[in-house]
Copies of this chain bind each other. A is one copy, B any other.
Amino acid sequence: MSSVRTLPPLAGYALALGDDALILAQRLGQWVARAPQIEEDVALANIALDLLGQARTLLSYAGTVEGVGRDEDDLAYLRDDRDFRNVQLVEIPNGDFAVTMARQLVFSAYQYELYAALKGSADPTLAGLAGKAVKEVAYHRDHATQWVLRLGDGTDLSHARMQAGLDQVWPYIGELFESAGTTSQLPGVAVDPSALRPAWDSYVTEVLSEATCRTPEPRWRSRGGRDGLHTEHLGHLLAEMQHLHRSHPGATW
């Protein structure tokens, strides 16, 4: 049995949000030195840093609530893939730049609504994090929006790539709005993700329409990331991310 399943609900909730941020930060970090412009290289690195900051707060808090002495590094580097609670959307490979921006648009638009609601949480740690993070994510969402508009409403080729990028990430959006088991056990503290969908739909639909892209209608959907069911890609990402720490705990050799 996975150790995550036995966590206190609040620790599990903080971990789910923290893992989303941590894994996407790693994916965005893989763009560094590969972006199409130096300015974009800087932008992606800054977004990754914002997400790492959110992840640190959330993982530390999960460790504190759990109360068995695990810190942010233990949680980031010493869990196996089955114990990660992130949605599968953040673990899929970057693909080309259009795929990365499609994912960034849908994820940032989700995170924006999430943090805007979480500002009102009865938990002061979560409310404080959300108040700070919602400002960062407003920028991430705007940045992705500008790229989706530029590529979608650009040349024939850029439009085709943007549409293909959207088609590729759409099967993964359902998980974002599913109530994980822990959410319903934390009334007034956690946000019910299904309540975020209408505002998300409205924002994303308008961007796609302006970008002259159609809303994809995927024929399958991902499931189970919040319960520790992941794609093979997470295993590869964790192998890379955890290798040095596991070889040299605390890097103290």
Contact = CB atoms under 8 A, between A and B. Distances in A.
A39 B77 CA distance: 12
Contact of A244 (B22, B35, B48, B154): B35
A199 interface: no
Given A29-B41, A37-B251, 17 more contacts: A22-B38, A26-B32, A29-B45, A30-B32, A33-B237, A35-B244, A37-B250, A38-B52, A38-B56, A38-B72, A45-B49, A97-B244, A97-B248, A151-B253, A155-B253, A158-B252, A158-B253
Given A41-B52, A161-B253, A36 B244 contact: yes
A176 to B, nearest CB: 23
Total identical chains: 2
Nearest to A39: B56
Interface string A219-250: 00000000000000000010011011100101
Top 4 A-B residue pairs of the complex, sorted by shortest distance between their CB atoms: A29-B32, A36-B251, A158-B253, A26-B33
Q: Which range contains the number of A residues in contact with the other chain? A: 35 or more
Nearest to A22: B38
Contacts of A41: 29, 52
A137 to B, nearest CB: 18
A193 interface: no
A40 interface: yes
Residue of A36, A41, A45, A150 ringed by the most chain B CB atoms within 10 A? A36
A25 B41 CA distance: 10
B37 A241 contact: no
Interface string A151-171: 100110110010000000000
